[in-house]
């Protein structure tokens, strides 16, 4: 029979629990109760209390302070917390002190009794342990750790084993409750789970089973319990089963690799069998399509869609994280070189806006996050170019017009202009039309024809000489172009501009 103590600021709650539950049927004797935290703490200290059900908010001393005070003197006392406060910060603090369960009010009686049964089981295990048992458990723990870390290679009783690994921040706060959750999740007496905690890492050594599906089921149960009770999301990696206990270290290293992939692919559980991908992976990426999307009217949205599809394909093909980092970096490099050639901007000016993000690509662990960082780099690049090019584009247009006026006596092509102003030849015509509303070839013709008009009106040069002055070697072709532009032949235009003869 184990002694139970009830502590709640509402007497009605204590009376209800006292009357509606047959505690003796569960191997429990009600040993006391209080509505004041300080009183409850004093009585639990003074009496042989095995299990205490406590509220968080109580006068005199709150439930968390009560648990901490009792645990310093009587560390074996087991607590179940019932509170109206659903904030998980209270749950984390309570679990830190070794509570079995954190239940939110209103509490279902069946849920409370489940917690009590677990507490009773733990009390029984604790009281049945002899010094020899304690020594055996310590020895088993040391053996498990030695096998996991490759420090023991001799034969032992372990066979049919798997190693699973995960990580939790502030792990020491949850170790007590994790032991309970993991033990509860074991689905059969035919296998054993040995828990090893190292900083933020949780390592589970499954022995006595050859079916990895049971490992996955156990891990899913633990994961769901952590989510339900502490609002913690975790992922697991599972190593391969090995024939010799001396290979447990290999399975452990594989489980770490599988865990990294679970984080990368956002999978709840990844097995090394599923992530044993090739060392020679390539992805076919249409870099121009991504850049074309980027420079279109709805560029950023189309680019984001392209990158989403790219990440989806990478995850479907199960590419390695380093392969994805390489391709994300290549997309950024391709865009940088494209804009460098397009606008003649030094690449370092583009990189300086993206340095932090590019560096972050090698630090993040998630494929989706890598896609977001890549998009952020491209977005930053476009924003920078829009700011930079606002004045730069006007300057380029001025340079183009100036070149045309200075070289009006020559045949002028887009390639000639692009070469002089260091601009992309394939882009200069569309750039000029977008900025001015006139095609480059029409502007060149217009400039030449206006110059020809000036010469026809204000000089006595022959028409073939005027054609040469505006870059036409063929007088006949010049006359055709001039008539098409002005509606008159050069002679008609000159005659029309002369004063009337005096008769």
Contacts of 308 (CB under 8 A, 6+ apart): 371
Predicted pLDDT of residue 344: 67
- Give the number of other Cβ atoms within 10 Å of residue 405's Cβ: 10
State pTM to two decimals.
Answer: 0.57
Predicted pLDDT of residue 502: 33
Report, as an integer, the average pLDDT of 3-10. Answer: 93
Residue spans of beta strands (DSSP E) within 115-238? 162-167, 192-198, 201-207, 236-238
User: pLDDT digits over 137-168, tens only?
Assistant: 445 566 677 777 765 555 566 667 889 999 98
Whether the Cβ atoms of residue 144 and residue 245 lie closer than 8 Å to each other? no
Residue 38 pLDDT > 80: yes
Predicted pLDDT of residue 135: 47
DSSP state of 274: T
Predicted pLDDT of residue 500: 47
Q: How far is the C-alpha of 174 from the C-alpha of 168, rounded, in Å?
A: 9
Predicted pLDDT of residue 156: 61
User: pLDDT digits over 337-357, tens only?
Assistant: 888 777 667 767 777 767 777
Burial class of 223 by CB neighbour count within 10 A (0 to 12, 13 to 18, 19+): buried
Predicted pLDDT of residue 136: 47
Query: Which residue would you say has higher pLDDT here, 51 or 95?
Result: 51
User: pLDDT digits over 179-192, tens only?
Assistant: 778 888 887 777 88
């Amino acid at each position: 029979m184990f002694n139970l103590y009830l502590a709640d600021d509402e007497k009605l709650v204590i009376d209800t629990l006292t009357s509606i539950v047959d505690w003796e049927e569960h191997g429990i004797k009600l040993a006391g109760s209080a509505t004041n935290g300080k009183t409850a703490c004093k009585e639990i200290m003074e009496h042989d209390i095995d299990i205490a059900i406590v509220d968080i908010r109580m006068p005199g001393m709150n439930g968390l302070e009560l648990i901490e005070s009792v645990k310093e003197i009587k560390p074996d006392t087991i607590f179940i917390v019932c509170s109206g406060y659903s904030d998980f910060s209270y749950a984390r603090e309570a679990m830190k002190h070794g509570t079995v369960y954190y239940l939110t009010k209103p509490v279902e009686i069946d849920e409370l009794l489940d917690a009590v049964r677990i507490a009773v089981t733990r009390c029984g295990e604790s009281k049945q342990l002899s010094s020899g048992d304690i020594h055996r458990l310590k020895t088993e723990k040391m053996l498990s750790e030695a096998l996991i870390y490759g420090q023991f290679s001799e034969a032992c009783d372990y066979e049919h084993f798997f190693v699973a690994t995960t990580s939790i921040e502030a792990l020491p706060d949850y170790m007590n409750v994790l032991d309970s959750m993991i033990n509860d999740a074991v689905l059969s007496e035919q296998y054993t789970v040995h828990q090893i905690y190292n900083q933020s890492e949780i390592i589970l050594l499954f022995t006595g089973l050859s079916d990895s599906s049971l490992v996955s089921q156990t891990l899913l149960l633990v994961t769901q319990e952590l989510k339900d009770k502490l609002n913690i999301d975790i992922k697991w990696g599972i190593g391969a089963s090995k024939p010799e206990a001396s290979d447990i270290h290999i399975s452990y290293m594989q489980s770490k690799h599988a865990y990294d992939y679970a984080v990368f692919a956002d999978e709840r559980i990844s097995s090394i069998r599923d992530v044993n991908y090739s060392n020679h992976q390539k992805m076919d990426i249409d870099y121009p399509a991504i850049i074309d999307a980027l420079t279109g009217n709805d560029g950023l949205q189309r680019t984001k869609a392209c990158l989403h599809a790219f990440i989806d394909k990478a995850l479907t093909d199960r590419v390695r994280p380093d392969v994805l980092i390489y391709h994300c970096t290549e997309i950024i490099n391709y865009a940088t070189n494209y804009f460098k050639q397009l606008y003649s901007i030094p690449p370092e000016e583009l990189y300086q806006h993206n340095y932090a993000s590019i560096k972050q690509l090698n630090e993040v662990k998630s494929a989706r996050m890598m896609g977001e960082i890549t998009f952020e780099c491209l977005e930053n690049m476009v924003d920078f170019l829009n700011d930079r090019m606002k004045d730069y584009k006007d300057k380029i247009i001025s340079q183009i017009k100036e070149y045309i006026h200075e070289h009006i006596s020559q045949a002028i092509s887009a390639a000639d202009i692009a070469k002089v102003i260091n601009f992309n030849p394939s882009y200069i015509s569309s750039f000029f039309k977008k900025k001015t509303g006139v095609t480059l070839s029409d502007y060149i013709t217009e400039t030449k024809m206006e110059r020809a008009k000036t010469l026809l009106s204000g000089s006595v040069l022959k028409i073939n000489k005027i054609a040469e002055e505006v870059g036409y070697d063929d007088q006949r072709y010049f006359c055709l172009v001039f008539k098409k532009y002005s509606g008159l032949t050069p002679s008609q235009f000159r005659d029309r501009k002369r004063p009337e003869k005096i008769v």
